[in-house]
Amino acid sequence: MLSENKTAAILVIGDEILSGRTREGNAHHLAGVLSAVGIDLKEIRVVADEQPLIVEAIRALDSSLGGRYDLLFTSGGIGPTHDDVTADSVAEAFGTGIEMNEEALAVMRARWEARGVPVTGNRTRMARIPVGAKLIANSYSAAPGFHIGNTYVMAGVPEVFRAMVDAILPELPTGRPPVSESLDLHRGESEVAEELKSVAEAYPDLSLGSYPWHRDGTFGTMLVVRGLDQDRVAAAMAELKGRISA
């Protein structure tokens, strides 16, 4: 699909995702948000809680560091434990230091004191922010994320992640959200592959895909046409229906 929208990647960080212990949902949520505001998500990558891997991924994905995409969003690894190494990794990737951020610490202390939660070294660890980064507000639990270069660093806890996404949404660049039309068929993919290919070749500016399904003992295929121009999408779908009917 041809597009002038900004491009983006999501970097999910966490051993618990790779081990299968935790089902990942943050990328799915953010993918929908980005599509709705006209940002083209191009890649989702998952890495372990290992600093060299995180640094390598950030440098490969953030265009401000010579990477592939206009925007990078990370999820996970900014908590209070020893294996939360995302902040240190981001600092290394951007060649900057890391420090106890007084603004972040003040917000967190106020939250803890209001709830009678003791201030401990592990908790204050979440206020360690790369030098030069801007904080991302966390209305759910106070401990902030941060933004540096074209990278937005957010927590892995789903409720906190969503709160941070809501906080950054107003400042994100917007583009043209894609439109789509779908056709549900009780036929296998192989039966409509040639028709789909022909229409895809005739409309190179659009994205055409087939998605097999199986439910209630029957099977079929969902054909989807996506693009930025409603008229082009409608025309492609009309041609696709015509070819399949023929």
User: Counting beta carbons within 10 angstroms of the beta carbon of residue 85, is it exposed (0 to 12), middle (13 to 18) or buried (19 or more)?
Assistant: buried
Question: What length is written for the chain?
Answer: 246
% of the chain surpassing 90 pLDDT: 93
- 87-91, 117-121, 145-149, 206-210: least confident range: 117-121
pLDDT in tens, 107-121: 999 998 898 888 888
What residue type is assigned to position 101 of the chain?
N
Tell me which residue of 70, 80, 24 sits closest to 47, measured CA to CA. 24
Domains and CATH numbers, the chain: 7-171 (3.40.980.10), 179-245 (3.30.70.600)
Task: Judge whether 78 and 151 are in contact, CB under 8 Å.
Answer: no
Tell me which residue of 193, 195, 231, 186 sits closest to 213, measured CA to CA. 186
Copy the structure tokens of residue 133.
């980064």
Copy the structure tokens of residue 27.
């990328």
pLDDT in tens, 191-204: 999 999 999 999 99
Helix (H, G, I), strand (E, B) or coil at 147: strand
From CA 45, how far away is CA 28, in angstroms rounded?
A: 12
Tell which wins on pLDDT, 122 or 101: 101
From CA 49, how far away is CA 86, in angstroms rounded?
A: 8
Unique residue bearing structure tokens 């995302």: 86
Element (H, E) at 234: helix 230-245
Helix (H, G, I), strand (E, B) or coil at 91: helix
